[in-house]
Structure formats: structure tokens, C-alpha cells
Amino acid sequence: MRVCNLSSGSDGNCTYIETEQVKILVDIGLSCKEICSRLAVLNVKPQEIDAILISHEHNDHIKGLDVFASKYKTKVYVHEHGIGAVYSKMKKALAQQFYQFGDFSFTINDLIIDNVSLPHDSVHCSGFIFENNKRKISIITDLGHTTDVILNKISGSALVYLECNHDVDMLRANPNYSASLKARILGKNGHLSNIDCAKALEYIIPYGTKQVMLSHISRHNNTPSLAYKTVCEYLQSKGIIEGRDVKISTASINISTIFKLN
């Protein structure tokens, strides 16, 4: 598997995953043009993309979907509870391009795709777990809190993209955010804080996670270095050492490290 995050955060989310037999995108929250130029960096043509999986209908996850899918006739996969909300935002993409999945895993060629429902203020939000050649990776963003079901599903993933959205004190002190917006982000169906991300990692790392990408980092209520520091210090206090037990990096709005898992 070759995996690369093309963009992460509230300005747009998109991750590219490739196996020997399949090339997919998870979310497409940048313009079609921008996605194509980032795929070109990976030497991938947009018409080679076999499928786009969508986590939920928020614009930072579907911005480029309508143009890309209609232009390149790409298949789009969305959970059965969220497909209506995503499709209602389309103008050009055809209904027959949309495929729904339920709460069970399915395959596209040699890629096994499992999903887990995430608590978020969208109609439905999916986290994804991918498996190929017995190597597992997970992409879990846009969730207000973790649950045992989520943590157990992603345990055993060699690579995890996990939301590390905000520093709680920075968000609370932000004068530009209304009280209601702060309550939304901090709520059970909002976004995952740095410390809650760290606690989730404390649980899953002993099951074999070797690489973590802190994802969907807020531009206004967090910084990559603060997210990294908070997570590493918390894990260190629990005896998990970054660099020794696990590697931790931050995802940004720019194309990030390409991971190869085989």
C-alpha cells in the first residue's frame, strides 16, 4: 500500500491510497483542479482513480467531488445513512455513480474497506479502516469523542490518521469564535481535542501502531507544534516514547509524507 495525505484541516481533506490493483481517494475537500495537480506530484492521473470514498457531507470533505466525479466518471462510495446528504449537494455527478455501503466491510479489488460511525454533527460520518496484504491503516477524523467501538476497530493499524483538532484552552480563549460555535466544537459531536487524541493513541499504540499522523489540526485553535507537544508529552507520561515506540507527525493543508506499507 502507498498512502499519502494530500490535504488535512478545515480548508480541505483528501487522502490517496494505492494498492497493486486499486487507486482511491478518501474525501475530496479541495477543488478538482487542485486535487489533480497534487495527484500529479504522485504521478497519478485523475482518470486512474477507481473510487472516491466520502466520510460525510461537510464541504471540507466534498468540495471537489461534483466536478471531479462528473469529469472523470469516478465511482463514489458513501455510507447508506449519509449518501442522501452528499448526493443532494451534487449538480453534475450522476446518481448511478454513487454506491452505498452499510456497517460491514467490503472490497474494491485487493483493498478491504471497513468503516465505523463517528459521533459528529453531520447526517452521518464514517471513519475508514483499510487492509491490504494484512497491513491495516485507519483514517479517523471529524469526531467529538472516541468510543470503545472506534478504538477497537482501529487497533492493529500500522498507520493511523487521527483527528487532533484543537487545544481546549486556546479554543475557549479565542475571541473570534462565538459561544455557540465553541460549544459545537467542544461538544460530543464536534471535533477531537489534542488531549482526547492523545488518550486514544495511548489505547491503540500497544496494539501495533507504528506511525501516527495528527490530522484536521485547527488553524485558529491549535498549532502543529502544540498538537505534537501535547500528544508526545501525554504519551511520555504513560511510558510511550515518540521515536522509540511510535513515530508521530502532523498533517497540514500541504501534501505530506508518502507512506509505503508492505
Closest CB to Zn ion among residues 132, 138: 138
Among the listed ranges 57-65, 127-135, 193-201, 202-210, the one in contact with Zn ion (CB under 5 A) is 57-65
Instruction: Please report whether residue 58 would count as binding Zn ion according to CB under 5 A.
Output: yes
Closest CB to Zn ion among residues 1, 90: 90
Helices 194-204 and 224-237 pack at an angle, to 10 degrees, of: 40
Closest CB to Zn ion among residues 29, 36: 29
Question: What is the rounded distance in angstroms from the CA atom of residue 118 to the CA atom of residue 124?
Answer: 8
The CA-atom distances, in angstroms, between 48 and each of 21, 22, 206 are 11, 9, 37
Among the listed ranges 53-61, 111-119, 199-207, 238-246, the one in contact with Zn ion (CB under 5 A) is 53-61
Q: Which residue has the cell 460530543?
A: 188
Question: What is the rounded distance in angstroms from the CA atom of residue 79 to the CA atom of residue 103?
Answer: 8
Closest CB to Zn ion among residues 131, 167: 167
Q: How many residues bind Zn ion (CB under 5 A)?
A: 3
Among the listed ranges 54-62, 70-78, 110-118, 224-232, the one in contact with Zn ion (CB under 5 A) is 54-62
Q: Which residue is nearest to Zn ion (CB)?
A: 58
List alpha helices for the chain, DSSP H. Answer: 32-41, 59-62, 65-72, 83-87, 148-154, 168-173, 179-186, 194-204, 224-237
Strands of the 111-117 sheet, one edge to the other: 106-108, 111-117, 126-132, 135-140, 159-163, 211-215, 247-250
Among the listed ranges 52-60, 85-93, 201-209, 250-258, the one in contact with Zn ion (CB under 5 A) is 52-60
Q: In whole angstroms, how close is the CB of 73 to Zn ion at the nearest point?
A: 26
Q: In whole angstroms, how close is the CB of 9 to Zn ion at the nearest point?
A: 8
Helices first, then strands: H and E counts in the chain: 9, 14
Question: What is the rounded distance in angstroms from the CA atom of residue 155 to the CA atom of residue 128?
Answer: 12
Q: In whole angstroms, how close is the CB of 237 to Zn ion at the nearest point?
A: 29
Instruction: Please report whether residue 60 would count as binding Zn ion according to CB under 5 A.
Output: yes
Q: In whole angstroms, how close is the CB of 59 to Zn ion at the nearest point?
A: 9
Q: In whole angstroms, how close is the CB of 119 to Zn ion at the nearest point?
A: 11
Q: In whole angstroms, how close is the CB of 60 to Zn ion at the nearest point?
A: 4
Closest CB to Zn ion among residues 124, 132: 124
CB-based contact 62:74 (threshold 8 Å): no
Instruction: State which of positions 133-172 bind Zn ion (CB under 5 A).
Output: 142
Q: If DSSP states are collapsed to H, E and C, what string results for 109-133? A: CCEEEEEEECCCCCCCCEEEEEEEC
Question: What is the rounded distance in angstroms from the CA atom of residue 7 to the CA atom of residue 22?
Answer: 20
Closest CB to Zn ion among residues 87, 240: 87
The CA-atom distances, in angstroms, between 131 and each of 16, 55, 73, 134 are 14, 17, 25, 6
Q: In whole angstroms, how close is the CB of 223 to Zn ion at the nearest point?
A: 18
Closest CB to Zn ion among residues 58, 153: 58
**Binding residues for Zn ion, per CB under 5 A?**
58, 60, 142
